[in-house]
Amino acid sequence: MPRSRESRLDIMLRTWWARLLVAILIAGAATLLWIAGFNYFRDELGLDFLAWPVGIGVAIGAYLAIGHIYRQFGPKAHPMQLSRGVLADRADAQLRRLQPVTHFVHPLGRPWPKAVCGPNGVYIVDAKPAPGHVGFLDGQIRIDGEPPPAEWIGEVRRLQPIVRELLQDRRSIDIAVAGVLVVDEATIVPAGLREGDVEIAVVPVNELTDHVEFGRPVSIDTARAAYDALAAWRPAS
């Protein structure tokens, strides 16, 4: 269903200061109604003992009514969608936290995916928001119960066997090659995809550093040789 274009008023009313102004107006309206009800019972009807409870009741009722009307018919904020750029920047910041003496990062794309060569293997890392609910069934990634879309997982899946063949068959470098898809930290990821022995893991961005620092140990010389091999090679686009 196409989304209607928002007006400037819709956008303005989602800001904190505009909502504060609306809250003040609602409180002011409730106060005026309270004063009117209080004065009516006190001055017009001469029922002073009812003025306070009736005035308070009118004020509460007015506040709830105006708030309900605003929630029903006022502008509604659309769900926030993290952009690829924000997630990619955060993932890049996580990779920069790795020790440069032991972990070597090399771009395999422009600028993603990236290869991380370290003392626990080679990780092909790509930062992409999950396009739906991430699941794990029969050892396979599922998005909303279905196989993941090619544009989300395809590049890591394509590069993984190519890099493995390059390192093991052509260069005789014995090192594990795993894929990692980085998602926003608010994404719910099954434990089997984060911690299990899977070829392509799905990892929240705040766990990326820890993930690439664990694995089957290899020597620093092997990790450096893998990095040198990848630095001298470019994948076909």
- Whole-angstrom CA distances from 191 to 5, 9, 26 are 40, 43, 46
Domain range annotation of the chain: 8-73, 84-231
Contacts of 188 (CB under 8 A, 6+ apart): 133, 134
Run of H or E including 143: strand 140-143
Q: How far apart are CA 38 and CA 52, in angstroms?
A: 6
pLDDT of residue 235: 62
Tokens of 87: 């997630």
pLDDT at residue 76, rounded to an integer: 47
- Counting as low any pLDDT under 50, the low residues of the chain are 1-7, 76-84, 237
User: What b/e sequence results for 53-69 when a residue is b if at least 16 CB atoms lie within 10 Å of its CB, and e otherwise?
Assistant: ebbeebbeebbeebeee
pLDDT digits (tens, 9 = 90+) for 19-41: 667 767 777 777 777 777 777 77
Q: Which residues does 178 contact at the CB level (< 8 Å), separation at least 6? A: 121, 122, 123, 124, 160, 199, 200, 201, 215
- The pLDDT value given to residue 114: 93
Task: Give the length of the chain.
Answer: 237
What's the confidence (pLDDT) of residue 72? Answer: 58
Predicted pLDDT at 40: 76
84: burial class by Cβ within 10 Å (0-12, 13-18, 19+)? exposed
